[in-house]
Each structure stands twice: as structure tokens, then as C-alpha cells.
Chain A
Amino acid sequence: MSHALTLITFIPVAGMVVILCLPQAMKDICKWLAVGATALQLAIAVWLYENFDTTTTAVQFAEKHDWIPSYHITYFMGVDGISISMVLLTALICFISVFVSFGINRAEKAYYALLLMLDAGMMGVFVSLDFFLFYIFWEVMLLPMYFLIGVWGGPRREYAAIKFFLYTLFGSVLILLAMLGLYYYGAQTTFDMTTLASNASHYSSNFQRIVWIALFIGFAIKIPAFPFHTWLPDAHVEAPTAISVILAGVLLKMGTYGILRVNFAILPEATHQLAWLFLGVIGTVNIVYGAMCAMAQTDFKKLIAYSSISHMGYVMLGIASFTTAGINGAVLQMFNHGTVTAMLFILVGVIYDRAHHREINGFGGLAQQMPFYAAMTGFAFFAGMALPGMSAFISEVLVLLGAWQTYPLMTVFGAATAVLTAGYLLWTYQRIYLGPFNEKYAGYSDLSLREAFTLVPLAIIVIVLGVYPHAILGLLNSSLVHLNQVVLSTPGPAIAMVH
């Protein structure tokens, strides 16, 4: 399998092309083609996981071909410890979200084609090591996302879709300019990210800072970091369930991944100097502000959306800490947040499919009617609260441990927010599942087999990683420690706001 990464990226594209060639009436075949393509992708991802060499920081499974030689643009793919876990996560979440999509009953052919295109775009971002290729995938993903929200979304879907598109395009064009700057003013004109990283010291400090901030804004919009987060609640509320799952499960991670891959690796000096403010402080604001906003929501899905903002804050705080624990925990948190939030959005979708509303105060006592569903939600909420034994516990503790060494004050805020998180999740649980039973919901069936099938694998992963986090941490460690050392070897910030 010397072309594993090409396959894993383009199998969905092949699936999409086949689906597009089918007549509209064969919607079941479209559905199962999508299942097949994502299953194949997941199989390759597992193969990559099995064959990944955890001892080296080098790029693995690399493929490199000339594309536009006159401009040094190459087709360069490869994975290392920073990206391998994201490749796994993408394959997993996409596979599950196809099953979540089975409820779609309008223009299925176009839906599954777009879903596969989105899948390919996300996978491409994580495996590209040529900046130009990375950027192509980064932007291409916007198109299917726009249509998936815009056509199959809720009542305010048009507004949400265009808002998402405008926000992210705004970020993308800044990345484009930064990319061109890195290309022209580096030691050699190249888009190869590994070469750019090894020539990092060539850029002047001021140049690094300007480019860093441009890149940061581009990536921060995807995370989404305060104050660029406002598109996310809208997009989540309007998107169909499966798209919310992908959005929270994979898309947001592209922001933090980009920061690690580009800002950290290519501009280490600026990272070292600016991270405390842009990642540390903004990350902490994300944690606290996201949790407070979540507390105030009465729409179940919006609440989960804000909790995503809050949890992504831990990732930012973790990578800004420049400690082994912090950065490992952050990337592990990216993976864990992907699985946990995917569960939460699937669970919101389950009740929305039955009740056609998500008003938290409109429910009550659902546990009596749907015990398995209530138990599953309870499990997912505990995972969201990062209770011990759950995967998120390990990652959040690692982040806080790491961050404590660098930013004690911020860490206090971050840790204290755990109380808020528990507060809004438990309060929500109480209002929806406990208390007197609302007779309006008497006829509701419990989780169907399909719904259970989408949730149980994620739940198993949550528990396994809660007990044995090394399954993912082992992949990350060498690359992240190396990356961290590169950054730490540069001059630190002039303002010592810590220690």
C-alpha cells in the first residue's frame, strides 16, 4: 500500500463520482455506496494506525509527485504524529455520520455526493504536506458544507450557510496571503511544509509575527476562537444532525491542527512569543465564555455548540503551554472532543427527529419513556464533564497539568470551569430526562438499532481511551515533543507574564 494516503483521500471522491452517475431513483444504492466508501476509508485508517511507526518524528507513508514544477507545487502527502490521530478521527466520524444521515429523505443522491466530497476535503487537509495542496483541500471543503447546511438545514439555513461560508472564506484568504509570503520570502521558494519548517529561522522576526497573526486569524475562525466564534452556533443549529457531527467532530479540529502544522512548525519564534496571548488568553476566554453561554441556552443543540467552543479552548490552552503534557493532552483532547461531541450531537438529533423541536424546557421525564436513550445521554454528558474513566478526563487533566506549569492563573480559570460544565450539563439532563413525565411524548420509541449503532462504537472508544489513553498518545508523543522543543529553542516572549 504505497499509495495509502492517496487512496484514503480519494476513495470518497470515487464514491462521489459513482453516486453522481446513478439515477436519482436509486437512493438506497447511493446510501450504501457512501457507507462502502467510508468503510473502506476507515479500514485504510486502521491499517495506517497499525503500521504507524511511533518512534520516529519523520513523515510516514509519504508520496511526492511534481504537479506544477514551474511554481514548485507538488503533490506531497504524508502523516506524522500531529496528523495521524486526526486521520483516524476523520475516517471514524465520517463513517458514523453516513449512518446518522439515513434519516435524510430529500435529494439523497446530492446529499451523499456532497457528504463524500466533504469527507475527501477534510481528509486531504490532514494528509497534505504541500501548503498549496493543503490550501486547496482547506477551501474545497467549504462548498459541500455550504450546500449541506443550506439545502438540508433548518429554518434559518440560508443565513447560517452564507455566514459560515463568508467567515471561513475571510480566514482562508488570509492564509492564502500568508502562504505566498512564506513562499517568496523563505530560504527557498517552496510550498513543501517540511522544507519550510526546516528553514524556519530564515524569516525575520517582524515578518514572522505578521504572517503568524494572519495565519492565526484564518485558523482561529475554524476552531472557532473568541471573538470569531459567532458563526458556529448558527451553523450547528441549522445543520442537519450528521453535518453537525462532522462540523464539531472533525472540522473544528482543522483549526488547531493548522496552528500546530503551520504556525508552530514553520514560525516557531513567533509562536513562542505570541502564543500566551493568542492561544493562552483567548483559549481561556473560550473555555469560560463558551461554558457561560452554554449555561444560558434553552436550545439543546445550541447548548452543545457552545460547549464545543468551551472544550476547544482546552486545546488552545494546552498547545500554548509548551509542555509535553500540555501539547500531548491538547491533541488527545482534539480526538476525544471529536468522539464525545459527535455522540452529543447524535443524541440531540435523536430527540429532534421525534419531537421536531429542541427546546430544553419543553421536555421532561423522558427517562421513563426512553430509558436506553436517557442512559446513553447520561453517559455522553459524563464524558463531556470529563469524569474519571472517560477519555476526556485524561486529556483535560493533561492539558491542565501542562498549562499549570506555564500559566497558573489561566489554568485556575480553566479548571474552575469544570464546575460550570457540570452545571449546565446536569441541569440540562434534569430538565429533559428527569422530573415529571410530559404526556405529550408518550408514544416515543427508544433508540432504534441504527441510532444505537452510531452511538455505541463512540461510547466504547470513550471508555477505552479513558482507561488506555496510550492507544492515541503513543502515536502523538514523539512528533509533538519534537515540535515543542523546536518552539522552545527560540527566544521567548519579551513580556514574561508567567512563572
Chain B
Amino acid sequence: MDLGNFASLARFLPELLLSAGVLVLVIVDLIVTDKSRLGDLALVITAGALLLIAFQPDTGNAWLFHRMLVFDGFALFFRALIALAALVAVWMSMGSEEVRTCDQGEYYAILLASTLAMFLMAESANLLMAYLALEFVSLTSYILTGFLRHNRRSLEAALKYLIYGGVASGTMIYGMSWIFGISGSLDFTVINKALTTPETLPVLAVFIALVLILAGMGYKVSSVPFHMWAPDVYTGAPIPVTTFLAIGSKAAGFALLTRFFFPAISSLSANGSWQALKGVDWPQLLLVICVITMTLGNLAALQQTNMKRLLAYSSIAQAGYALMGFVVLSNDGLRAMLFYLFAYYVMDAGAFLVVMIVANCTGREDIDAYRGLAWRGGIVPAVALSIFLFSLTGIPLTVGFIGKFYLFAAVIRGKFYILAIVGVMNSVVSLYYYMRPIKTMFLDTPQGDEGTILAEPWNYGLMGVLAGATIALGLYWAPIIAFANRSLNFFTGPA
């Protein structure tokens, strides 16, 4: 179905709610004096958006707003994931000492606007729309990163982010102009037809265009060589924002990356494998990027002494793992990637949450602040952080293992044996740095200068939910994999 502006609105309710929420927050901020309640309002709006997504009637796939956006299973998965990420980010913001010092109204309004932008990124069916959504995400992210106005690191991070982002998106739109020149359209479905039908293709031009576009999208998922902003931004931003960037923004990046590289420029064959454009060897390029991303992320993480920075490099490595599902060019791989992104959401949000709890109590983010955490009243966050880090390593009984299991299964099935070996060796390397905080918390004895850990019921509640989910989904994950399977449903026009 190709829906017009008004007909589209019925399937656009979550986004409408978020847009209204942004306005309401701004207005309420002007009226009320007790700013501490604004977080609750933002939480209600985010939860409302999530519920709207969850209970959206299945009205069939369609184009919205004259083929600008697409409404399909794949978009639904990412909207749900991003809404969940926003929910965690808002919840964390309400319990964060850093955010408490900021202008509440603006902060939550921008956070919700960013969520809206990520939704749009996951739904784009048109290069122009994709570019606008990506820029929208970037602009809101810059502001959120620099929100600690009196903190030099936060400002430095925002500036770095801005410069990198400017270059990356400029490169991307240049690449898009090449695609437009070659195919004569910005519409994904038309591009697909234009590129897959003709016998002869300007192979080199298409390849260059794809590389240029990859700059913008790779920057969002923080893959090498567009990863360099991540460590600084993750370290400088307030922790809830870091979390949101790590799980939400990355998911949106993967959504757009997948939507462009699969339904837009590849074709699906009957056996569930995808055919790349003839002669345009982007899968090979992405394979190299994938291997370098995970290896570099893991090796760089080995030396980190700041938890946020360690998790930043870890998130680069995790993006590399997720890309394994991408480069095998099969629905198996994509399903594994979706599952992995979900798993990554649960475990990485949890890890950042514990970092925030410790930072709230001690004001510190370095690993030394965790010394003997288990033996000085912080046994609960220590155990929870261990669960999240084991999950990030991929040890069984956690959802992270199941995610890696599906990824490697897809890789082995696709006969990418070297990639599989590189992947598992990276897991072994990553164990070393994921174990360092665990070692510091349990094996080292506290020296008395680390500060005490106080139990905060709201943060502990969320931590319990995430830790419980990490283990529960490691034991029984059938609903999630079924959801990922249903979500491999790209709408590219009436059949």
C-alpha cells in the first residue's frame, strides 16, 4: 500500500505521541516549578510510545507519507528496540546525579526528540529521508553529549562528535548523490530496480557510492574506520546519554545499514540468501571492516582504565560481532544480528547502569573505584556487573552467549570459517578485559579510599530487571528469536 499523508497517521501513532511529548515537555517546563517531575512525564511518554508499538494492530505493510517511510516488520523490531532503549535512558536519567544538575525540561525533550529521530531512521524508505533522520539523530546526540555544560570533557566530546559527524554525513550525502545519478531516484525500491535489472552496471561508480554512504552509516554503528569518536564521546557524555548512544543510536544505525544494503541494493533468493549486486563487492569490504572492527575494539579495550572508555571500545567490538551476521548475506545472519542487537541492548544497558550507580556514589568512573566492591557493601551491583560482563563475553547462561551462538551458527552455515575463527578468538581476547573489573571487584581488597555504595531502589530495580533478563533469556530465548524471525520482513512494494 502506498499511503498518503492523512492515511499514514494511523500507523504513525508512536511517533506522533513522541512529537507531542516533546512539545508538552517544553511547555510544562515553562509552567511548573518542581522540575524533578519532568522525568516522570518523559517516562510516561516513552512507555506510552512503547505500548503503542507493542499493541499496534497488524494492518499490513505499507509505505507512509508518499513512500518516505515504510511500515513493516523490520521497522517494528527496531522501533520496539529503540523505544526500550529510550525507556532505559529516561529511567537512568532520573536516577543520575549528573543529569540532576542539568535543565530537566530541555534534556528530556531532546532525549525524546532523539528517540523520534531514531524511529525515523529505522523506517526510512528514501535516501533523502534517511539522511534527514540520520542528521536529526546526530544533532540531538551532539546536544545530549554536551549537556554537562560545566564539564570540559563533556564539551570536548560534543565538539569531536560534531566534527566527525559533519564529515561523515557530508561524505554520505555525496555518495547518495552518486546513487541518485546512477539510478535516477532516491526511493529504495526504485533504486533496487534500477541497479539490479540492467545487464551492465557502472560497477566502479556504484562501489565508490556505496563506500561513501558507508561512511555515514558506519559512523552511526561505530565500525572501523569511523569509530574514533566513540571512546571520547562515550567517556564525556553523561552516563544515561552514553547508554542511549550505545544501544539506541547503534541500533538505529544497524537498521538503516541493513535496510539500505539488503532490500535496497540486494535481492533475496528463494533459499534465504541474498545476492549482492553483480561485480560490486561490498560484502568483501564489509567483511574486512567487520574483522578489523572487532579486533581493534577488543585490543584497544585491553588497556583501558576508565570503565566508560572500556565499555566504549567494547561497544565497538560488539558492533563488529553484530556485523558478522551482516556480511554472511543470509536471512540466518540477519536474524542472528537482530537477536544480537537485542541481547546487546539488555547487557550493555545493564553494564552502563552499574557504572552509573558506582559513579553516583563515588563520583568516579575509573576501574580503581571498583576495588573490592563486593566486600564493601556493593555485592549486589558487583554480581550484576559480573553477569553483564560475562554476557558481553559470551559465557553460557546469559543472553550474550545465545546471541553469539546464533551469529557463529550463521557464519558456519555460510562457510565463512576464517571469520568464525577470528570471531571466537576475539571472544577469548575480550574475556581478559571484561574480567578486569570483575577481578577488581571480587579479588582485590578495598583500600578505604573508594567511597561507599548506597542502595538506590529505582536504579537497583532496573538493574535487577536487566540482570534477570540477561539470565532468563540465556535459558529460554524462543520468543525473542521468533520475534527476530518475524521481523525479517522488508516491504519493498506490492508483490
Binding site for B on A (CB under 8 A): 67-71, 107, 135-136, 139-140, 142-143, 146-147, 150-151, 157-158, 161-162, 165-166, 169-170, 173-174, 176-177, 180-181, 183-184
B424 touches A174 (CB 8 A): yes
- A150 CB to nearest chain B CB (Å): 5
B408 touches A176 (CB 8 A): yes
Binding site for A on B (CB under 8 A): 375, 390, 395-397, 401, 405, 408-409, 412-413, 420-421, 424-425, 427-428, 431-432, 435, 439, 442-443, 476-478, 481-482, 485
B408 touches A68 (CB 8 A): no
A146 neighbours in B (Cβ, 8 Å)? 435
A161 neighbours in B (Cβ, 8 Å)? 439, 443
| 4 residue pairs, one from A and one from B, having the closest CB atoms | A173-B424, A180-B412, A136-B396, A139-B396
Q: Given the interface contacts A150-B443, A166-B428, A173-B428, does A184 sit within 8 Å of B409 by beta carbon?
A: yes
- In the bound complex, how far is the Cα of B409 from the Cα of A136, in angstroms? 15
- In the bound complex, how far is the Cα of B393 from the Cα of A356, in angstroms? 37
A147 neighbours in B (Cβ, 8 Å)? 442
B432 touches A166 (CB 8 A): yes
Interface of B is mostly: helix
B477 touches A68 (CB 8 A): yes
B420 touches A177 (CB 8 A): yes
CB < 8 Å neighbour of B421 from A71, A140, A158, A177: A177
- In the bound complex, how far is the Cα of B409 from the Cα of A247, in angstroms? 31
- In the bound complex, how far is the Cα of B477 from the Cα of A71, in angstroms? 11
- In the bound complex, how far is the Cα of B408 from the Cα of A183, in angstroms? 12
A70 neighbours in B (Cβ, 8 Å)? 478, 481-482, 485
- B162 CB to nearest chain A CB (Å): 40
User: Known contacts A135-B396, A161-B439, A183-B409; can you find 20 more A-B pairs with CB under 8 A?
Assistant: A68-B477, A68-B481, A70-B481, A140-B397, A150-B439, A150-B443, A158-B443, A165-B435, A166-B428, A166-B432, A170-B428, A173-B424, A173-B425, A173-B427, A174-B424, A176-B408, A177-B412, A177-B424, A180-B420, A184-B409
B435 touches A180 (CB 8 A): no
Q: Given the interface contacts A68-B477, A158-B439, A181-B412, does A143 sit within 8 Å of B428 by beta carbon?
A: no
- In the bound complex, how far is the Cα of B439 from the Cα of A162, in angstroms? 9
- In the bound complex, how far is the Cα of B428 from the Cα of A174, in angstroms? 11
B435 touches A162 (CB 8 A): yes
A173 neighbours in B (Cβ, 8 Å)? 424-425, 427-428
B424 touches A176 (CB 8 A): yes
A177 touches B432 (CB 8 A): no
- In the bound complex, how far is the Cα of B401 from the Cα of A107, in angstroms? 29
A68 neighbours in B (Cβ, 8 Å)? 476-478, 481
A184 touches B431 (CB 8 A): no
A136 neighbours in B (Cβ, 8 Å)? 396-397
B395 touches A139 (CB 8 A): yes
Q: Given the interface contacts A143-B390, A177-B412, A180-B409, does A169 sit within 8 Å of B427 by beta carbon?
A: yes
- B298 CB to nearest chain A CB (Å): 13
- In the bound complex, how far is the Cα of B428 from the Cα of A139, in angstroms? 13
Q: Given the interface contacts A140-B396, A143-B395, does A150 sit within 8 Å of B442 by beta carbon?
A: yes
- In the bound complex, how far is the Cα of B481 from the Cα of A67, in angstroms? 13
- In the bound complex, how far is the Cα of B435 from the Cα of A161, in angstroms? 10
- B410 CB to nearest chain A CB (Å): 9
A107 neighbours in B (Cβ, 8 Å)? 375
A176 neighbours in B (Cβ, 8 Å)? 405, 408, 424
- In the bound complex, how far is the Cα of B395 from the Cα of A139, in angstroms? 7
Residue in chain B with minimal CB distance to A184: B413
User: Can you name 6 A-B pairs with beta carbons within 8 Å?
Assistant: A70-B482, A150-B439, A150-B442, A150-B443, A161-B443, A165-B431
A67 neighbours in B (Cβ, 8 Å)? 476
- In the bound complex, how far is the Cα of B432 from the Cα of A183, in angstroms? 29
